Amino acid sequence: MLIKTIFSGFGGQGVLSMGTTLANAAMLEGKYVTYLPAYGVEVRGGTANCTVVVADEEIASPVASEPDFVIAMNQPSFARFQSILQAGGLLCANSSLVNTESARSDIEILAIPTSELAEKLGTIKVANMIMLGALIKASNIISYEAMIKNLNEILGEGKAKLIKLNKEALELGYNYVKE
Amino acid sequence: MKRLMSGNAALGEAAFLSGCTCYFGYPITPQNELTEYMAKRMVEAGRVFIQSESEIAAINMVLGASVTGARAMTSSSGPGMSLKQEGISYLAADELPAVIVDMVRGGPGMGNISPAQSDYLQATRGGGHGDYKTIVLAPGSVQELTEVVPLAFDLADKYRNPVIILGDGMLGQMMEPVSFDDLKPPAEYEKDYTLTGAKGRPARKMHSLLFDTKLLEEHNWKLSRKFQRIEQNEVKYETYLTDDADMIVVAYGIGARIVKGAIKRLRQENLKVGMIRPITLWPFPAKVLQEMAKTVNDFFVFEMSAGQMVEDVKLSLEGKGHIHFYGRPGGVIPTPVELFRIISRHYYQAHALKRKK
């Protein structure tokens, strides 16, 4: 197994933390993992993306030529990364901000209205965790149960107060996606 | 236990565990996480951390600390490394140990903050003025940093010479699981040259100003003999699928990781391509390349530069074999698929030419 995922969006949408969260969860499951951030000199509002590779064997390249999954949190990211998604790949789009029409017929698009869902929890800040929950349901990258169990360790000491909120957000995204 | 850490942070922890007692640095992307890590870790442990007023100040603080016997380190990138070169020349002249981390970014000039390998020549050819060499170590993964960092401190003390750890923006910022369980701190060396106040012993002095040409020539030959010893004893490299290969890729650092991804694809197509990855860029693994040239004709050099290490490959092969080159300068990170396409094109062309013979 070797699964490559690209997370992309505006700086400030929690794109990089989605990546580190997935990478940490996969590592705690005993998998090989690489996390490669790409951001320019931009601050909040600029573009950001990261590549996470999860595998059962040693990972050669942390750079993904043709990702299996793309998460696009904004329109420019959707436009840019849908083209490199491999045939049969899944694109999870933040449909609150993204027009999910694509010219490609060989990929699957999953629309998640993260802003609307996040409103139920009272803060837009967890939109990224809602998206991550949806990705975990729609993919076989990591075990959702193991992730929830390890959430304290995954998010780290500084986030202790936010465990409950993050768990709710992951659950909301996870349950939004039907089997 | 494994922790998910960026290369920069892992480098900081490895330096700490290697007994680094003094860190001096001035911020520059893409190595800031290292300075950040040291700011916390060193100060908490009561060791020395100074954010200097410039890169020039930092390298001279390293020189000052090293003179007293401290295990000292600095780090930078791009234009910051250019500023440090004068200090590195003085360290080499005074035969002082030091570890200098260079997380290379796109150049020349201000360039950009993307990963690059375009400071190979600066690192391996001394970089500053005068006849000297720096040992250059090029790790290829976050875990390998934990092996390379104690080695760097060890070699610096063993040969009393500056050692450069040459990474790039990608190695610095990417995160991988890393374990420090196997990290052994380097040995403590007897230092009979340090300036610590001459209490109870005759005074010593250290300087690189040698007006007498005979003395300076002898000093240069002494350094030169030391560099020969290093060339004989300290070469490190990794080979990957070279046994049956009829084309060998030469790549280092993060470039070699991308090549590895490409080779996996090439092997699926039954193209017999292997790789040699120099871990020491100086001393360069020239002998092993010469050995390989007895059975292999085609060498493919890939670098994230317009072509720098390729000079060392040419020097090593001394006209033997055919050297192919592909480079991406300016901070561009090629994908494994791109390299797969380029290497396979060269591979088929090489085979077609052989058939004509």
Q: CA B276, CA B284: separation in Å to the nearest integer? A: 11
Give the phi and the psi of residue B40 in degrees, each rounded to 5: -85, -55
Q: CA B74, CA B68: separation in Å to the nearest integer? A: 16
pLDDT category at B125 given cuts 50, 70, 90 is very high
Q: How far is B291 from chain A (nearest CA, A)?
A: 26
Q: Does B176 touch chain A (CB under 8 A)?
A: yes
Contacts of A24 in chain B (CB under 8 A): 4
What's chain B's average pLDDT?
96
- Whole-number pLDDT of residue A43: 58
Q: Does A27 touch chain B (CB under 8 A)?
A: yes
* Interface pTM, i.e. ipTM: 0.93
Using left for φ > 0, alpha for ψ between -120 and 50, and beta otherwise, residue B111 falls in: left
Other CB atoms within 10 Å distance of the CB of residue A137: 17
Whether the Cβ atoms of residue A68 and residue A18 lie closer than 8 Å to each other = no
Is pLDDT above 60 for B357?
Answer: no
| Inter-chain CB proximity B335 and A34 less than 8 Å | no
CB contacts < 8 Å between A and B, how many? 61
Q: How far is B160 from chain A (nearest CA, A)?
A: 35
Q: What is the pLDDT of residues B314-344, one digit of tens each?
A: 999 999 999 999 999 999 999 999 999 999 9
Q: Provide mean pLDDT across the span B161-188.
A: 96
Is pLDDT above 90 for B285?
Answer: yes
User: What residue type is assigned to position A113 of the chain?
Assistant: P
- Eight-state DSSP code of residue A12: T
Q: CA B244, CA A5: separation in Å to the nearest integer? A: 33
Is pLDDT above 60 for B171?
Answer: yes
Q: What is the pLDDT of residues B240-264, one digit of tens each?
A: 999 999 999 999 999 999 999 999 9
Q: What is the pLDDT of residues B15-74, one digit of tens each?
A: 999 999 999 999 999 999 999 999 999 999 999 999 999 999 999 999 999 999 999 999
Q: Which stretches of chain A score pLDDT less than 50?
A: none
Q: Provide mean pLDDT across the span B110-136.
A: 96
Q: CA B350, CA B352: separation in Å to the nearest integer? A: 6
Give residues with Cβ within 8 angstroms of A61, minimum separation 6: A53, B257, B258, B260, B261, B262, B335, B336
Q: What is the pLDDT of residues A84-122, one digit of tens each?
A: 999 999 999 999 999 999 999 999 999 999 999 999 999
Tokens 């969006």, located at residue: A9
- Whole-number pLDDT of residue A42: 54
Q: Does B338 touch chain A (CB under 8 A)?
A: yes
pLDDT category at B1 given cuts 50, 70, 90 is confident
Contacts of A36 in chain B (CB under 8 A): 170, 173-175
Q: CA B233, CA A46: separation in Å to the nearest integer? A: 49
Domains of chain A: 2-176 (3.40.920.10)
Is pLDDT above 60 for B182?
Answer: yes
Other CB atoms within 10 Å distance of the CB of residue B6: 23
- Whole-number pLDDT of residue B355: 58
Q: Does B40 touch chain A (CB under 8 A)?
A: no
- Whole-number pLDDT of residue A65: 86
Q: Strands B162-168 and B98-104, how do they pair? A: parallel
Q: What is the pTM of this model?
A: 0.95
The helix (run of H) or strand (run of E) holding residue A166 is helix A163-176
| Inter-chain CB proximity A20 and B113 less than 8 Å | no
Of B4, B113, B335, the CB nearest to A65: B335
**B40 closest CA partner among B76, B61, B12, B73:** B12
Report the Cα A84 to chain-centroid distance in Å.
Answer: 16
| Inter-chain CB proximity A63 and B334 less than 8 Å | yes
Is pLDDT above 90 for B274?
Answer: yes
Looking at domain B3-233, which CATH architecture does it have? 3-Layer(aba) Sandwich (3.40)
- Whole-number pLDDT of residue B114: 92
Q: How is domain B237-356 classified at the CATH fold level?
A: Rossmann fold (3.40.50)
Share of chain A above pLDDT 90, in %: 84
Residues forming CATH 3.40.50.970 domain(s) in chain B: 3-233
pLDDT category at B185 given cuts 50, 70, 90 is very high
Q: How far is A34 from chain B (nearest CA, A)?
A: 5
- Eight-state DSSP code of residue B307: S
Residues forming CATH 3.40.50.920 domain(s) in chain B: 237-356
